[in-house]
Amino acid sequence: MMLLLHPSEIMNRDTMATILNRIRHWIFSLINWLYPPFRKIIPPETFRYAATGGLNTAFDIVLYFIFYHYILQKQVIDFGIVAISPHIAAFLFVFPITFATGFMLAKYITFTSSPIQGRVQLSRYAVSVGGSILLNYVLLKVLVEYFLLWPTISKIITTFLVIIYSYIVQRYFTFKTGQLLK
């Protein structure tokens, strides 16, 4: 499968759709290839969530590490009226990037059977991510500033706790592909 295009095709809207469809097809193929050993213990949707969520989480942690260590250089960002610690600033800079990639992976790879319209999914996703932000912020503050753990280790711990919250909210609220127990 070829993802490269002639330079004259790069700005074409149809070309962008073709690229995104090829990427989606490639991700689906990879996940389907990896799925058979897990078929008896985990449903396909949950496996897709774990795979795409894992990919986005790894991307988030790598970006966090790069921002914290190399872009912010572990320095407090002082705006005069407010100062932001480097571990929180790194989170704030990385968030918009992984918000976009997370929504696209959830919508187009994981929860494809959702009956909810895209704009409603996006607004619900924003609400669920708001809860994730709050959890991230509180847990990072507590782990780094009170338990004195390293920021990257704190981010990894925080991420695993937020993943559990996120899956439940996305499956039963944002995309509504599961039913709550009655």
Structural domain boundaries in the chain: 45-174
What pLDDT score does 159 carry? 84
Long-range contacts from 27-34, C-beta under 8 angstroms, 24+ separation: 27/52, 27/105, 27/109, 28/109, 31/109
Query: Of 42, 180, 176, nearest to 115 (Cα)?
Result: 176
Query: What is the longest distance spanned by two Cα atoms in the chain?
Result: 57
**pLDDT truncated to tens, each residue of the chain (182 aa)?**
445 555 655 556 677 778 888 888 999 899 999 999 999 999 888 899 899 988 998 999 999 999 999 999 999 999 889 999 999 899 889 989 999 999 999 888 888 888 888 889 999 999 998 998 899 899 999 999 999 999 999 989 998 898 889 888 988 888 887 665 44
Inter-CA distances, 1 with 13, 52, 81, Å: 20, 21, 52
What pLDDT score does 46 carry? 86
What pLDDT score does 150 carry? 93
Inter-CA distances, 164 with 49, 72, 131, 168, Å: 11, 29, 12, 7
What pLDDT score does 123 carry? 93
Identity of residue 26 = W
The dihedrals phi and psi of 77, each to the nearest 5 degrees, come to: -100, 115
Asked if 154 contacts 87 with a C-beta cutoff of 8 angstroms, the reply is: yes
Cα–Cα dist 97/100, whole Å: 6
Percent helix, percent strand, percent coil in the chain, to nearest 5? 75, 0, 25
Cα–Cα dist 36/113, whole Å: 20
Q: What is the pTM of this model?
A: 0.74
What pLDDT score does 100 carry? 92
Inter-CA distances, 40 with 34, 43, 62, 155, Å: 13, 8, 32, 32
